[in-house]
Every structure is written in C-alpha cells, then in structure tokens.
Amino acid sequence: MRILIKKGHVVDPSQGIDEIGDILIKDGKIKEVRIQDKEQKAKSKSPLTQPFSSMEEGKGGGEDTELRTIEAEGMFVIPGLIDMHVHLREPGYEYKETIKTGTAAAIKGGFTTVCCMPNTYPINDNASVTEFIIRKAALEGLCTVLPIGAITKGQKGKELVEMGTMKDQGCVAFSDDGLPVMNSLIMRRALEYSKAFGVPIISHCEDLTLSEDGVMSEGLLSITLGLRGIPAEAEQIMLFRDILLLKLTRGRLHIAHVSTEGSVELIRDAKKRGVNVTAETCPHYFSLTEDSVKGYDTNAKVNPPLRTKKDIEAIKEGLKDGTIDVIATDHAPHNRDEKLREFDFAPPGISGLETALSLSMKLVDEGVLTMSQLVEKMSLTPARILGLNGTLKPGADADITILDTKKEVRVESKKFASKGKNTPFDGWMLKGFPFITISKGRINEWQ
C-alpha cells in the first residue's frame, strides 16, 4: 500500500521544513519527502511533476502497486501529534472511556500517539497492568498507546513502584497524576531512582493541604458563587519544591498541566539557571478563564482549575518564549450522569482530544506561535522527552496529520468519538480540524 500526499504545506521542525511538498508513504513508513524548490514555487507546480522513479505506473515487479493519492492542497501536513497526558480509563472505568474509544478520539483530534496516565482501576503500578494496556492497545487501539506508570504503589505516595520492570514492559514515564507526591522524601527518591532507567517523572503539582476540597480557582468569583476555592499557590508551592528536588537529584522532571502565572515564572527562572525541567500546558488554560464556571457549569470544572486572564497571558507568553515546552490535552472523559450533578461532587475533567489542535491553532492565528513552533509543542518536543520520533524523516513510521485550517466547524460534543462528552467548548466555532490522520500508515478520515 502506497500513499502519496500531494501539495500539502509540510511543516516538520525536525527537518526544518516549512513549505509546500509531497510525501510518499510505503508499507506504513515514510519513503520520501520532496519539497518545492524556489523555481518550482515560482511556477506553483507540485514538486513531484515526475512520478517517483520507483513507482512508475504498471511497473514494480511483484510489489503491491496500489496507490492512494491524497490531495492536500491548502492544508498543513505535519507529523502525527503526540499527547503526553491522556486518561484512557481502561482498565476499570470503561463506562467513561475505553482504549478503543479514546484512541478513536485521539485520531479524530490528529494525535497518532497518546500516553495514558495510570489512575485506572487497578492502578497501573505494576508490570501486569502495563502489559494489559499494551496488549489491549495492540488489539483495539487506533493509534499508538504508551503507558505512563504510577510513581508510587496505589498512588498512595509511600512506596516506589518497580520502575525498571515496568519500563521494560512498556512504560515511557512515571507519574502519580491526579495526585501529587506529597511526601518530599518519596519525590526525591523517585527523581533519583528514575535516573537509572532514563525516564522522566511527570509531576502533578498540587499542595493538597491548601487545595483541600476546592472546586474552582480561589478569588472573588469563588466567594460570589459560594464554591470552595483553590489558591494558585497550591500549584506553585509544589512546583517550587519539585524544581528544588530536581536540582538536588539531577533527575528528569516534567511538569504536568501548568495553569498559573506564578508557575510559568518559576519554570522560566529554573530554566535560566540551567535546571533540566520541561513543562506542559493544556488548551483550556490558554482559552478559558474561571468565568466559564459561572452558572455552575460542571463542564468547566477541571483540576487544576481555570484561572484568570492574567494567567492566560502568562501561559501564552510562556509558550512563546519556550518556558512551556509542550501542549498536552489532559484528556479526562467522564460519564454524562457524573457531570450532571452538584458542582461540588462532579468529577473534574475536560474531554479534550478532539478540540486540542483547533484550539491550539488559535495561537498561530494570534501570532503567539508559528505553525512550526506549534508542531514542536505538540509533536517534536514530546517525542524528544519520551524518546520517540515525532518526525517526517524517511524511514520513520507514517504517523501524519493533515489538517484543514480554512473550514470553520462547530464543536458538537454529542458527536465526539470519545465517550466523554464533557467539554466547555461545545458550540464553539473553530478552525483546524484534521482532515486525515495517518497512524502507522493506516488512513483515518471523516466526511
């Protein structure tokens, strides 16, 4: 099976490519990339005016010569996106999402690799659960699934898991996400021990004693609504501690879902001092403020909570100057009935895979990021952190996303491929939805 993607605007920061070009895929791998040279640009012709030398029609001695041509004129062609922070809910919470439906949502969102967090049931704190996830994904997953193991057994924050064994089984990183590791000594040990296996520790920064029972950002609005607030400092205190422990241990640390101005400042400062920390944020933290909670809309209940305009500005600035390395989704699907209840008791989380790319495209429209920088944040950099590809270099797996940035589409949560319809973006008009997502050479497309 061969696929030829023609005349798309190829953006591949790993090769420094940002121009019109063609890509040829064969047997699930990228065979060749040809970009328009200056002369061809002037003539506005497709670079591959000649058929590929090895692919002449009718010839090919015994090989499968079936060719699918995708007209990608006017669309971006980028390496498949890599989401470092996804909750696939399987095993244990299949009523919220399964590996099958979660990866279907990922593909629809332009993601060809997702890393799933361990707060399943049972928790992924041992090799057999890791093995289950890998096996289920191979059977039913529509894209690559890489498990993230827990840091501590049962995510209780007391005993480290068998990182080595779990890494061998397939874990690419470790995190107690959903919870912080409150005990500083344990966090220190985790950062030290993980060095032996070359994997990053991903930290969910939250001081539980400060955030206690909070359900939204603390401020005048939380008082006005009568909801318990979580001060920004709950995130910053833990973040600062983690950075100091990182300095102490010289391990590898990645900060999950950065949401506050203060956190961006702390990370920027740490990087200036040469600390080896990376950080991610999520689309809702640069698209929505706490005002979305007005009316007690549980779709806007998320942890960390939505913050203020100032925080949004700081996060955009952090993305622009490289303080924040990655845009991940923290895709957190929940069952409809769970969200249709008292704000206090509704589980926090946004089903984000299917809106992440188009929300992030707005950053390109606003001039916060170039398209190439966006692709870095959502593909190349996560790849670097986790030791993956994130590239369109010949020989790499054919993980490619083709996106239409012209057509404006209304977000309709009830049509999501994810079981989780919980999103505050329902009804938004957005541009930049994937036209086709190719995962290891398999084409996924929608009308």
Q: Which residues are catalytic?
A: 330
Name the segment binding another protein (CB under 8 A); options: 9-17, 36-44, 81-89, 217-225: 217-225
Cα 27 off chain centre by: 26
Contact residue for another protein among 42, 220, 273, 447 (CB under 8 A): 220
Cβ atoms of residues 221 and 195 within 8 Å? no
Give whole-number Cα distances, 277 to 163, 183, 244, 387, in Å: 20, 20, 11, 16
What is the closest distance, in whole angstroms, from the C-beta atom of residue 124 to another protein in the complex? 26
d(CA 382, CA 405): 23
What is the closest distance, in whole angstroms, from the C-beta atom of residue 206 to another protein in the complex? 19
Total residues binding another protein (CB under 8 A): 17
What 3-state DSSP class applies to 222? helix
Question: Is residue 209 a contact residue for another protein (CB under 8 A)?
Answer: no
What is the closest distance, in whole angstroms, from the C-beta atom of residue 214 to another protein in the complex? 13
d(CA 411, CA 408): 10
d(CA 392, CA 11): 9
Tell me, residue by residue from 343 to 372, as one string, x for binding to another protein by CB under 8 A and - for no binding: xxx---------------------------
Question: Is residue 210 a contact residue for another protein (CB under 8 A)?
Answer: no
CB atoms within 10 A of CB 223: 11
Name the segment binding another protein (CB under 8 A); options: 79-87, 216-224, 309-317, 383-391: 216-224
Residue 10 vs 300, nearer CB to another protein: 300
- Structure token digits, residue 247: 């300095």
- Structure token digits, residue 398: 């054919």
First to last CA, the chain: 22
Nearest CA-CA partner of 55 in 78, 29, 32 = 32
Residue 198 vs 295, nearer CB to another protein: 295
- Structure token digits, residue 147: 């498990």
What 3-state DSSP class applies to 106? helix
Question: What residues between 132 and 161 interact with another protein by CB under 8 A?
Answer: none
Question: Is residue 230 a contact residue for another protein (CB under 8 A)?
Answer: no
Question: Is residue 340 a contact residue for another protein (CB under 8 A)?
Answer: yes
What 3-state DSSP class applies to 439? strand
Residue 100 vs 339, nearer CB to another protein: 339
What is the closest distance, in whole angstroms, from the C-beta atom of residue 340 to another protein in the complex? 6
What is the closest distance, in whole angstroms, from the C-beta atom of residue 337 to another protein in the complex? 7
Name the segment binding another protein (CB under 8 A); options: 116-124, 223-231, 348-356, 404-412: 223-231
Question: Is residue 224 a contact residue for another protein (CB under 8 A)?
Answer: yes
Name the segment binding another protein (CB under 8 A); options: 178-186, 270-278, 326-334, 337-345: 337-345
What 3-state DSSP class applies to 200? coil
Exposed / middle / buried, residue 138 (Cβ in 10 Å: 0-12, 13-18, 19+):
exposed
CB atoms within 10 A of CB 208: 14
Name the segment binding another protein (CB under 8 A); options: 146-154, 226-234, 251-259, 367-375: 226-234
Tokens 């590996």 belong to: 99
What is the closest distance, in whole angstroms, from the C-beta atom of residue 307 to another protein in the complex? 15
Cβ atoms of residues 173 and 201 within 8 Å? yes
Contact residue for another protein among 81, 151, 171, 227 (CB under 8 A): 227
Tell me, residue by residue from 377 to 406, as one string, x for binding to another protein by CB under 8 A and - for no binding: ------------------------------
d(CA 405, CA 361): 8
Question: Is residue 57 a contact residue for another protein (CB under 8 A)?
Answer: no
Give whole-number Cα distances, 425 to 38, 80, 329, in Å: 41, 23, 14
Binding interface with another protein (CB under 8 A):
219-220, 223-228, 295-296, 337, 340-345
